[in-house]
Amino acid sequence: MSRAESNHHEVIIIGSGPAGLTAAIYTARANLRPLVIEGEPSSTSDQPGGQLMLTTEVENFPGFPEGVMGPDLMMKFREQAARFNTTFITEKVTKVDFSNRPFSVWVRDTKYTAQSIIVSTGAQSIMLGLENEKRFYGHGLSTCATCDGFFFKGQEIAVVGGGDSAIEEATFLTKFASKVTIVHRRETLRASKIMQQRALSNPKIEFKWNSQVTEILGAQKLQGVGLVDTITGQKSQLDVTGLFVAIGHRPNTDLFKGDLEMEDSGYLKTRPGSSYTNINGVFACGDVQDHTYRQAITAAGSGCMAAIDCERWLEAQH
C-alpha cells in the first residue's frame, strides 16, 4: 500500500471526547475503520479525552452507580473504540480543506484524506487565567454545576460571572450549598431579567459587586479566594470551599472558519435533528455544536447520531 493509500480513510474523526469516541465506536463497528485524530496531551483545549480529563469524579454518567473518575471514563471509551479497529493519532489537526472530496486534513506536514469527516473538537470553558487555576481544577474549582454541585453539600461557595450561565449555575447550586456568593466584576448583571430576579430573591444567594477573583487560596483543596474591588482597588478574602467559574465557553472551531457555517459565537451549525453541517459529508457532534446541554452523555448521544448519519451518507454515495 502506498503512503497516500495508507493515509486515506473512509472517515476521519477530529477530537476524542465522549462525542468523538462514541462516533469512533459506532463507525468502527460499521467497518468504516475510522481514524481518530485525538489531540495533544499537553494542551488544555485539545487534550485527548476532552473536558472530562480535567474533572475528578463523574456521578451522573449512566452505568456507573458508584461514580467514575473523568479520565478513567474516557480511557474506557477509548479502549472500546480501539477494540473495534479504530486508529488513533495523538496529535492535533493543524489545517483542513473541505472544499473538495476526498476531504484533506493535515497534522503538521502529513496529509490525511477521507470520504467523510466527523468534527467533535468540543469546547472549553473560558477561565480566569489565574496562576494556580489548573491545579485546583477538581479540587474545589469547577466549571460545571450540574456535574460537581453535589460535592458541595452544606458548604459555602462562590460563582464568578454575571451572565445567564453564572446565574443559572448559582441558582442550581443553592440546592446543595448553604450559601452561594456571586462574584461579578460590575454592578449590573448581563443575565436576562427573569434569571436575575430569581437569583436576587433567593435567600441563599449573595452578591459581591465590582469584584474580581485575583487569587485562589488553599494547599491541596480550595479554601478561599482573594478578591479585589474593581473600583476602589481594595483587597479582601472570601472564605469558600468551592469556586465555579461561569464566564462563558469557547467552542474549538478556529480550524473550520471559512469552511463550516457557525453561529456568531463560533458554535458549528448543524441541521436540526441531525449532525449534518453545511458541507455534505462533514458531520459535527458534541459540544462543538451544542451550547445548551454540554453534558458527556448528550455529547456521546450526538456522537452516535453523527456516526449513523455518516454511515448512511457514505452508503448513499456508493
Quick note: the x/- pattern for ligand NAP over 113-152, rule CB under 6 A, is: ---------------x------------------------
Beta-carbon contacts of 194 under 8 Å, excluding residues fewer than 6 positions away, are none
Do residues 225 and 131 touch, judged by C-beta distance below 8 A?
A: no
- 247 binds ligand NAP, rule: CB under 6 A: yes
Q: Which three cell numbers stand for residue 211?
A: 469584584
Q: Give the nearest distance from C-beta 183 to ligand NAP in angstroms.
A: 8
Q: Taking contact as CB under 6 A, which single stretch among the options 183-191, 216-224, 253-261, 296-304 is the one that binds ligand NAP?
A: 183-191
- 248 binds ligand NAP, rule: CB under 6 A: yes
Beta-sheet strand order (sheet of 211-217): 211-217, 224-229, 235-238
Question: Binder to ligand NAP among 160, 180, 243, 306 (CB under 6 A)?
Answer: 160
> Which helix (H) or strand (E) segment is 280 a member of?
none
Q: Which of 284, 301, 311, 287 is nearest to 98 (CA)?
A: 284
Task: Report the distance separating Cα 34 and Cα 81, nearest Å.
Answer: 9
Active-site position among 46, 144, 309, 310: 144
The question of whether 310 is a catalytic residue gets the answer no
Active-site position among 148, 259, 290, 309: 148
Which CA distances in Å does 88 have to 91, 241, 302?
Answer: 9, 39, 20
Quick note: the x/- pattern for ligand NAP over 260-299, rule CB under 6 A, is: -------------------------------x--------
- Omega before residue 102 within 30° of 0, cis: yes
The question of whether 148 is a catalytic residue gets the answer yes
Residues that bind ligand NAP (CB under 6 A): 128, 160-166, 168, 185-186, 190, 212, 247-248, 291
User: Which positions are annotated as active-site residues?
Assistant: 144, 147-148
